[in-house]
């Protein structure tokens, strides 16, 4: 696959949080689409290297790099590395984030600050570098959440961070006018990942499963399919929050 803009070689993607859950599936899908992939990790190089090996075993091109997404110097180094290894960057998929749940009245404010630092500041920092470096014909994809509009109890702090992601996405798309770079957010619904299933009893899982008309939980491959579309052929989808949730309203 070649870049729709100025690059003539394989497209190059950075996937933050690319070593686990949805990020892992996204990394492997973009590699299968023909992109060279930089798999970012926050603290565990072992799982990132597993993703790199899986991609390489399937004939793809990938490598890994660790960085704190909220640290502008480290994120700058991340982009430096991908440019040094692959010659540039065309796609940035920012899946990295954390989810801490509690009713608003009981939420620990230090935990709230930690989540805001990763989910809001991290998105801002990664988008800042992406906006400066992504080549024409490229795409920037953030990760929001369907819970912003579903308004589940206990999700106040998390949903607030993802509402901020929505705002950044919509405004950045307009600020990049004339650059031929799309900016969108993917908003998954209930998706069967270890992060999502952790701490939930079977009754809760069954309830969430039945929210969608398709009567199943999403799987990471469902989300990766949407990312592949927005990162590749979907050049006329821009400045949108795309709900990938099986029809949950």
Phi, psi angle pair for 91, to nearest 5°: -135, 130
Structural domain includes residue 4: no
Q: In a 3-state reduction of DSSP, which class is residue 10?
A: strand
Residue 41 lies in a domain: yes
CA dihedral defined by 26, 32, 34, 40, rounded to 10 degrees? 30
Answer whether residue 4 shows pLDDT above 60: no
Burial (CB count <10 Å: 0-12, 13-18, 19+), residue 89: buried
Lookup result for tokens 């399937």: 58
CA angle 130, 156, 169 (to 5 degrees): 20
pTM score, two decimals? 0.94
**Between the CA of residue 149 and those of 12, 32, 127, 162, 187, what are the distances in Å?**
33, 32, 23, 10, 10
Please give the residue range of the domain that contains residue 70.
12-244
**What is the pLDDT, as a whole number, of residue 9?**
81
Q: Enter the DSSP assignment of 218.
A: B
Q: 165 has which bridge partners?
A: none
pLDDT at 157: 98
Number of domains in the chain: 1
Query: Which residues partner with 36 through β-bridges?
Result: 12, 61
pLDDT value at residue 1:
40
Does residue 153 form part of some domain?
yes
In a domain, 249, yes or no: no
Count CB-CB contacts under 10 A for residue 103: 11
CA–CA dist 170, 63 (Å, integer): 30
Task: Indicate whether 168 belongs to any domain.
Answer: yes
104 assigned to some structural domain: yes
Mean pLDDT in residue range 163-191: 97
Mean pLDDT of 87-104: 96
Is residue 64 assigned to a domain? yes
pLDDT of residue 5 exceeding 70, the answer is no
Inter-residue contact 96 to 70 (CB < 8 Å): no
pLDDT tens figures, 113-156: 999 999 999 999 999 999 999 999 999 999 999 999 999 999 99
The answer to the question of residue 196 being in a domain is yes
CATH number, domain at 198?
A: 3.40.50.720
Residues with catalytic roles: 158
pLDDT tier, 8 (very low <50, low <70, confident <90, very high otherwise): low
CB 36 within 8 A of CB 55: no
Going by C-alpha positions, the residue among 93, 88, 89 that lies closest to residue 21 is 93
Confidence of residue 197 (pLDDT cuts 50, 70, 90): confident
């Amino acid at each position: 696959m070649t870049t729709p803009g100025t690059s003539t070689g394989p497209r190059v993607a950075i996937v933050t949080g690319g070593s686990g859950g949805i990020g892992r599936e996204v990394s492997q899908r973009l590699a299968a689409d023909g992109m060279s992939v930089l798999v970012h990790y926050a603290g565990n190089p072992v799982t990132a290297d597993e993703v790199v090996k899986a991609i390489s075993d399937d004939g793809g091109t990938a490598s890994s790099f660790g960085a704190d997404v909220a640290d502008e110097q480290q994120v700058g180094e991340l982009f430096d590395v991908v440019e040094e290894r692959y010659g540039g960057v065309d796609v940035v998929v920012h899946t990295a984030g954390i989810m801490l749940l509690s009713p608003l009245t009981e939420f620990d404010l230090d935990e709230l600050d930690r989540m805001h630092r990763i989910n809001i500041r991290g998105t801002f920092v990664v988008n800042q570098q992406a906006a400066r470096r992504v080549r024409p014909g490229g795409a920037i994809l953030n990760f929001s959440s369907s819970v912003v509009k579903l308004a589940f109890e206990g999700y106040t702090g998390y949903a607030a961070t993802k509402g901020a992601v929505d705002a950044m996405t919509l405004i950045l798309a307009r600020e990049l006018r004339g650059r031929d770079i799309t900016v969108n957010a993917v908003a998954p619904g209930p998706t069967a990942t270890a992060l999502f299933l952790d701490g939930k009893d079977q009754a809760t899982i069954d309830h969430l499963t039945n929210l969608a008309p398709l009567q199943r939980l999403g799987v990471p491959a469902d989300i990766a399919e949407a990312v592949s579309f927005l990162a590749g052929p979907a050049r006329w989808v821009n400045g949108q929050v795309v709900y990938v949730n099986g029809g949950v309203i």
